[in-house]
Structure 1
Amino acid sequence: MKFNIRGENLTVTNAIGEYVEKKIGKLEKYFQEAPTSEVHVNLSVYNGQQRIEVTIPMQDLLLRAEEKHQDLYAAIDLVIDKLERQIRKYKTKVNRKVRQSGSPKYVFAEMERDFFVNNEEVEEDSLDIVRTKRFDLKPMDSEEAALQMDMLGHSFFVFRNAETGDTNVVYRRNDGRYGLIEPN
């Protein structure tokens, strides 16, 4: 793996860089062949909070996790745990389905079957849809949708864009501002 480590509001020292590479390098055990993609790591400090974002783009999968903590090294450990859970969850889901050769199933190294059968995380991470809502999408602009979202107290709102007629999603970002998701 090639590493692209950036720091915002902090200097990435050799010790920090080596620690990140060592920890992320341990993820290679989950793959048959080490990913050749570039691992993007963004380290930042805001308001005394250390934050790490890790993105590993692969052919059939995008691994991404972020974590905040008072201690940078603890944040790195926590983000690695998240990435490992994502890999295990994805591999378990893929193994449940019959896939043809060349599918994402073959990206991961073969592991002990008992690990996935006896691991409690498989049950915790399994997808369980508990409620379905149906509603008509009212045509509106993104600002009206953001106001509706705030009035409902939700973190996102699905609406039909009055100008384009497409289905869009407005959402509240972690920084308190708003984001808009539009189809291509």
Structure 2
Amino acid sequence: MDIVLTGRHIQIKQKFRDVVESKMNRVTTIAPDAQRVQVVLSHEGNPRLHDTAVRVELTVVAGSTVVRAEASSLDEVSALDLALDKLTLRLRRARDRRKDHRKNYTPVPVDAGKFVPPSEEREDIMGDEDVDNSPASAVAGDLGPGESVEVHVGDTPIVIRRKLHVAEPMSIDEALYEMELIGHDFFLFVNKDTGRPSVVYHRHGWSYGVFEIDTPENIKKLEEERKA
């Protein structure tokens, strides 16, 4: 398994590299098909955040499965341990789910309740790409798969970022599974049963919700087809 270490606003010491390599056997034990693990170490410069100044993000690629976890702490080793605990838990869930599907796995029920967006935006698992700071391209430009654009709105501190992901339509159950693997509070997907852009999200505890979008014209068309 390839181990790729990246530092953001912090220099990675050889001692930490050695610690990472020694601990990654936990990943290969649970996911022997893991091909690569990306380790991103970053540092928060705000002295008020001293207790959580160091952040470690782990992303494992195992076949077509991507599993992600992150954690912050006072130092890089303790942050790594916390992130690794989360990662191994999600890897076990992925492994157990594959076993469950062989035993007629029952989908997790969800509630189509009111969608509450997460209070804090998180980085996606694809990493950083070169961005186009042209306002026109950010608003109306065409993007290729994996491409993104980012632009400030006028003289305000507001930044708009657009990115194109290409993914096969999936069921609600599959979307919940993907959300848990990457550790986000929500997951955007195309519902293969309805063809609608949809979002699954955490509500509270083990409760989930699903939010779908459609146009009035299309809903009216579907109602007419049902009556016909």
Query: TM tier, shorter chain?
Result: 0.5 to 0.7
Aligned AA for 1:88? R
1:62 is matched with: 66
Q: CA-atom RMSD, angstroms?
A: 3.2
2:15 counterpart of 1:15: yes
After TM superposition, the structure 1 = structure 2 runs for residues 92-171 of structure 1, keeping only pairs within 5 Å, are 92-98=96-102, 128-129=108-109, 131-133=111-113, 154-155=116-117
Q: Tell me by how many angstroms 1:56 deviates.
A: 1.4
2:36 counterpart of 1:28: no
- SS of 2:42's partner is strand
Supply the distance in 2 between the matched residues of 1:53 and 1:177 (Cα, whole angstroms).
23
Distance 1:132 1:8, change over 3 A: same
TM-score between both structures, scaled by the size of structure 2: 0.46
2:40 equivalent among 39, 42, 64: 42
Supply the distance in 2 between the matched residues of 1:73 and 1:127 (Cα, whole angstroms).
37
Summarize deviations over 1:117-163 as a string: whole Å, max 9, x none: xxxxxxxxx985452238xxxxxxxxxxxxxx9xxxx325xxxxxxx
2:89 is matched with: 85
Q: Tell me by how many angstroms 1:182 deviates.
A: 5.7
2:100 counterpart of 1:173: no
Identity %: 20
Supply the distance in 1 between the matched residues of 2:71 and 2:83 (Cα, whole angstroms).
6
Supply the distance in 1 between the matched residues of 2:20 and 2:107 (Cα, whole angstroms).
30
Aligned AA for 1:87? L
Summarize deviations over 1:48-73 as a string: whole Å, max 9, x none: 31101111112121121111112221
TM-score between both structures, scaled by the size of structure 1: 0.56
2:57 counterpart of 1:53: yes
Distance 1:179 1:11, change over 3 A: same
Stretches of structure 1 lacking an aligned partner (at least 5 in a row): 100-125, 135-148, 157-170
Supply the distance in 1 between the matched residues of 2:159 and 2:72 (Cα, whole angstroms).
19
| Contact in 1 for aligned 2:33/2:62 (Cα 8 Å) | no
Stretches of structure 2 lacking an aligned partner (at least 5 in a row): 124-157, 167-228
Distance 1:67 1:179, change over 3 A: farther
- SS of 2:55's partner is strand
- SS of 1:10's partner is coil
- The ranges of structure 1 where at least 4 consecutive aligned residues each deviate by more than 3 angstroms after the TM superposition are 126-130, 174-184
Distance 1:177 1:19, change over 3 A: farther
Q: Tell me by how many angstroms 1:74 deviates.
A: 1.1
